[in-house]
Every structure is written in structure tokens, then in C-alpha cells.
Amino acid sequence: MRYLYSFFSVLLFCSFSAFAQDATIGKQKYQDCVSCHSIKPGENLLGPSLFGIYGRQAGVAAGYRYSNALKNSGITWNEDSLNRYVANPQGLIPGGRMPYSGMPDANDRKALIAYLITLK
């Protein structure tokens, strides 16, 4: 039983280490977003603040004027929806106003999302 506990402890540590590494890389990938999106709470730029985005319903952050398409999307931002949106914003939400063609590399998106999850 002690070996099983040790195995799961190592597995859990490796998972957290991989997540932390992804988040560190993701902070670098956020540089693609920095000209339009702040990570400070309530600080909206051309786009809304990304602070607290993970788990939030799309189109509801205070103080930002969203497109009707985004407000009516019914999306809650989680790993899957963020991945699909960052890959192709117009493909996921036609009629949205985000002027970004998308981040094609899946590993880059995964890292960026790991970083966004830390913004709370």
C-alpha cells in the first residue's frame, strides 16, 4: 500500500509540474494577446480582461461591450471551449468581433490555457 501511495504521489507531482511548465510557456504565448487583452481584473482594452476567464460564462465580464454573437453563445470558458476559440475564434462564434486568425499549434494553445487558468 505504501508503494501505491508513493506511486500516486509521484504521478500527482509530475502532473502539477507539467501544468506549471505549461503555464510558464503559456505566459510567453500570452504575448500574442497582450496588445488587446489585459490580465488585470476589470482592465478592459480593445478586448476584455482575461483575468478570471476560466469557468466564466462568455460575454459577461463587467465593463466590456461584447458582440451579440458572443453574449448569446451560451459558452462557459473551460479547456475545450478556450481551445476551440483560440484555435479559430470566428469558427466557434461566427459574428464575433475578435480580429484574430487563431493560434494553430495545439501545444501553444494548451500552454496558453494553462496560464489563463492561473489568472484568478
In 3D, which of 89, 34, 35, 40 has the Cα closest to residue 67?
A: 89
Percent of the chain with pLDDT over 70: 83
Q: For residue 19, what is its C-alpha cell? A: 501544468
The domain total for the chain is 1
pLDDT of 13 > 70? The answer is no
Q: What is the pTM of this model?
A: 0.82
Give CA torsion, residues 35, 91, 41, 30, to 10 deg.
-50
The pLDDT of residue 2: 54
In 3D, which of 68, 64, 102 has the Cα closest to residue 83?
A: 102
Query: What is the C-alpha to C-alpha distance for residues 56 and 68, in angstroms, rounded to an integer?
Result: 17
Check which CATH number belongs to the domain holding 71 and give it.
1.10.760.10
- Report, as an integer, the average pLDDT of 17-27: 77
Residue 8 — very low, low, confident or very high, per pLDDT cuts 50/70/90? very low
By residue range, what is the domain housing residue 95? 2-118
Higher-confidence residue of 16 and 69: namely 69
Percent of the chain with pLDDT over 90: 82
pLDDT of 95 > 90? The answer is yes
In 3D, which of 86, 98, 101, 88 has the Cα closest to residue 29?
A: 86
The pLDDT of residue 20: 63
Residue 18 — very low, low, confident or very high, per pLDDT cuts 50/70/90? low
Q: Centre a 10 Å sphere on the Cβ of residue 54 and count the other Cβ atoms it contains.
A: 19
